[in-house]
Every structure is written in structure tokens, then in C-alpha cells.
Amino acid sequence: MLFDFDNLVGYAAAVLTTVAFVPQALKSWQTRDLSGVSLPMYSLFTAGVAMWFVYGVMLGSWPIIIANAITIVLASVVLTLKLMHR
Amino acid sequence: MLFDFDNLVGYAAAVLTTVAFVPQALKSWQTRDLSGVSLPMYSLFTAGVAMWFVYGVMLGSWPIIIANAITIVLASVVLTLKLMHR
């Protein structure tokens, strides 16, 4: 089933770890304060999320594709701002 | 197969998005500079990673369990430091 209990836990987890980057991207954009944000973290993380996206495409898994497509955009905003304001 | 190409991409993705939090946790620990780090981000993210851990347990998936157990520890370090130094 698409919406059994296991999948609901997985969807909730995916929504939380994706939506989490909205306040970080907004804060970084508005304040341009990136001093405490780690450049290696966002470099590795953005590369990793891009690989999750590829993995989702290979599996044909839309939840993995959609969640990681959104996270790539949000993490890239933070990474770009960090590269501009270090 | 445990180590077909799809799974290798998935493992590489999991390693990258997990290891990414090592430099952030180290930087936050050493500098105690959390000013640019978003509290709502680490609150939502840590909760989400905890749910991924539960999802891994429900599926009996060791890669999901191990990757998220490590990430819970690293994200909790950043979250705790943010709560102490805002």
C-alpha cells in the first residue's frame, strides 16, 4: 500500500528533513550571516543530496526524487551564500 | 544483490549526507559561533532524522539505521550548542 504506517513514517521523515532547510535558507538569505555555517558541510551535503536524487531516479521513486530536488535548491542557496560571504 | 550499482549510489549518497555533519559539528564545537546557524532548522532536522531512524528499524534496513544513528548524534551536538550559545 502507498499509505501504510511504514510509508507514513517515511513520508513524515522526508518532509521534516526537507522542510528543515527552509528556515536556514531564509535566515542565511535575510541576514547574510554565514559565519557559523560550515562550508565543507554544505559542499558534502549538496553533493550527497544530488546523489540521493540520482538514486531516486534510478529506483523510479518519486518521494526520493521530489524531496531531494527541493533540498538541492535549498542547500544550494545556503552553499552559494556561504561562498559569497565568508 | 547487496552491492549492485543502484545500491552503491545509495550508499555513497548516505555516506556523503552523514559525513557532511562532521565538519559542521566540529566547527560549532571549536568556535562556539552559532550565529548563522538556524535553530528551527536543527530542531526540524534532528526530529526528521530520528523519524528516518524509526523508519529504518521498521523496515529492518541497517544502512538507514546506521546512517541516521550517526546523524542524530552529530545534529544533536549542533542543536545543543545552538541552544547554549544563541
Distances (CA, A) of A78 to A21, A65, B80: 9, 20, 21
H-type alpha helices, B20-61: 21-31, 39-59
Would you state the cell numbers that stand for residue B44, as one nine-digit string?
526540524
Q: How far is B66 from chain A (nearest CA, A)?
A: 16
Q: Closest Cα partner for A71 from A22, A32, A10, A9?
A: A22
Mean local confidence (pLDDT), B54-58: 93
Place of cell 550571516: A33
Instruction: Say whether B14 sits in a helix, a strand or coil.
Output: helix
Q: Which residue range(s) make up the domain with B23?
A: 5-84
Q: Rounded to whole angstroms, how far apart are CA atoms A7 and B5? A: 24
DSSP A2-31: TTSHHHHHHHHHHHHHHHTHHHHHHHHHHH
Average pLDDT of chain A is 93
Cell of A23: 528556515
Model confidence at B51: pLDDT above 90: yes
- Residue B3's pLDDT is 64
Cβ separation A38–B48 shorter than 8 A: no
Distance CA A57, CA A6 (A): 21
Question: Does residue A5 surpass a pLDDT of 90?
Answer: no
Residue A84 in contact with partner chain B when CB distance is under 8 A: no
Cα angle B18-B24-B30, degrees, rounded to a multiple of 5: 140
Cα–Cα separations (whole angstroms), residue A20 to A15, A58, A60, B5, B39:
8, 25, 24, 30, 10
- Please tell me the predicted confidence (pLDDT) of residue B1: 52
Chain B contact for A83 (CB, 8 A cutoff): no
Contacts of B27 (CB under 8 A, 6+ apart): A36, A38, A41, B33
Nearest CA in chain B to A38: B24
Chain B residues near residue A16 by CB distance under 8 angstroms: 44-45, 47-48, 51
Which chain A residue has the Cα nearest residue B60?
Answer: A6
Question: What's the CATH number where B11 sits?
Answer: 1.20.1280.290
Amino acid at B83: L
Q: Average the pLDDT over B4-20 and give the result.
A: 91
Total of domains in chain A: 1
What residues of chain A lie within 8 A of the CB of B55, using their CB? 6, 9-10, 13
> Tens of pLDDT along A43-85?
999 999 999 999 999 988 888 899 999 999 999 999 999 999 9
Please check whether residue A24 touches B, CB under 8 A.
yes
